[in-house]
């Protein structure tokens, strides 16, 4: 969609080049043009604790949010509404800011965090079939709708 001239900001899961990341590392690619941000930390060989680096996650979310504020966007795309967002952290503030600005948000939501997302979205979301055609059609329609009518309700744009 960026190739079609749409301004997209957000963050998507990034697969590091082979040999540059361990099997449990998690990176995000900050849209539109990087960089990659590692959001996990090394805890040592015997650890079974959560590897998410809350500071790195907040830093990535802050950079993505600053791009939304500085550059504007036609669409916000985020990897997922995960535990951080369910607990009020991560990209949650960016999602709210995008909706307040009338920018459509596309975000994955797992069953694990569905209830927290639904409380957050407060009935202002729609579910999409998980196939490329449906997702791209929704994105184009949401962008067109919000450009034609900047006061579009969040119900029509938050996913």
Please report which confidence band the pLDDT of residue 6 belongs to, taking 50, 70 and 90 as the band edges. very high
Which residues 6+ apart lie within 8 Å of 66 measured at CB? none
pLDDT value of residue 2: 81
Cα–Cα distance between 66 and 10 in angstroms, integer? 10
Element (H, E) at 11: strand 8-14
Its pTM stands at: 0.83
Chain-wide mean pLDDT for the chain?
86
Q: Which residue has the higher pLDDT, 95 or 47?
A: 95
Q: What percent of the chain has pLDDT over 90?
A: 61
pLDDT value of residue 154: 46
Take residue 103 and report the two structure tokens written for it.
Answer: 């920018």
Annotated domain spans of the chain: 2-156
Q: How far apart are the first and last CA of the chain?
A: 17
Cα–Cα distance between 51 and 102 in angstroms, integer? 34
């Amino acid at each position: 969609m960026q190739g079609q001239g749409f301004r997209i900001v957000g963050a998507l899961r990034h697969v590091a080049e082979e040999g540059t990341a361990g099997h449990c590392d998690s990176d995000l690619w900050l849209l539109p043009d990087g960089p990659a941000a590692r959001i996990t930390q090394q805890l040592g060989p015997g650890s079974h604790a959560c590897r998410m680096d809350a500071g790195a996650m907040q830093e990535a979310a802050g950079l993505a949010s600053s791009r939304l504020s500085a550059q504007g966007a036609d669409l916000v795309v985020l990897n997922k509404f995960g535990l951080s967002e369910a607990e009020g952290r991560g990209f949650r503030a960016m999602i709210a800011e995008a909706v307040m600005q009338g920018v459509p948000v596309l975000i994955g939501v797992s069953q694990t965090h569905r209830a927290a997302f639904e409380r957050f979205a407060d009935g202002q979301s729609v579910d999409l079939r998980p196939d490329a055609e449906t997702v791209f059609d929704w994105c184009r329609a949401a962008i067109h709708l919000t450009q034609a009518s900047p006061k579009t309700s969040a119900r029509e744009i938050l996913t």
